[in-house]
Amino acid sequence: MKPTDSELEILQVLWQEGPSTVRQVNERLAQNKDVGYTTTLKLMQIMHEKGLLTRLEEARSHVYAANVSEEETQSTLLERFVDTAFRGSASKLVMHALGNHKATPAELDEIRKLLDQIEKQP
């Protein structure tokens, strides 16, 4: 399932902070943009219905947690992006990214190590 941009923002808060109330998530989101409590509440309710979040009812407040991992979500989004934007070509993605972004020596070392690991795999 592909979360919307707003849903991704909520997931990122929950991945970083762990289980949180709507108020806690809303306060965190409000640090970067103008967002109302009821908007955050509705989005989190929808995300719960979609299975993206779990909800624990503690006293009067509900505590929500991400029901999908950050790594799983990133993999799904990246796979879809590569398929749609680069017609499934990982090499086109890498070439485009390196062509448009000045990689630091440390980043290039990481890329070389990753390529070495991939080449050693059976």
* Statement: residue 58 has pLDDT above 80: no
Measured CA to CA, the distance from residue 33 to residue 6 in angstroms comes to 11
pLDDT over 90 (residue 11)? yes
The pLDDT value given to residue 99: 83
Residue ranges and CATH numbers for the domains of the chain are 5-66 (1.10.10.10), 89-122 (no CATH)
Q: Minimum mean pLDDT among 22-31, 45-54, 94-103: which range? A: 94-103
pLDDT above 70 as % of the chain: 100
Task: Give me 102's structure tokens.
Answer: 């000045």
pLDDT(1) > 90: no
Amino acid letter for position 16: Q
pLDDT tens for residues 12-28? Answer: 999 999 999 999 999 99
Residue 65 · residue 48 · CB < 8 Å:
no
pLDDT tens-digit readout, 61-78: 899 999 999 999 999 999
Please tell me whether the overall predicted TM-score, pTM, comes out greater than 0.85 for this model.
no
d(CA 77, CA 69): 12
Q: How confident is the model at residue 121 (pLDDT cuts 50, 70, 90)?
A: confident
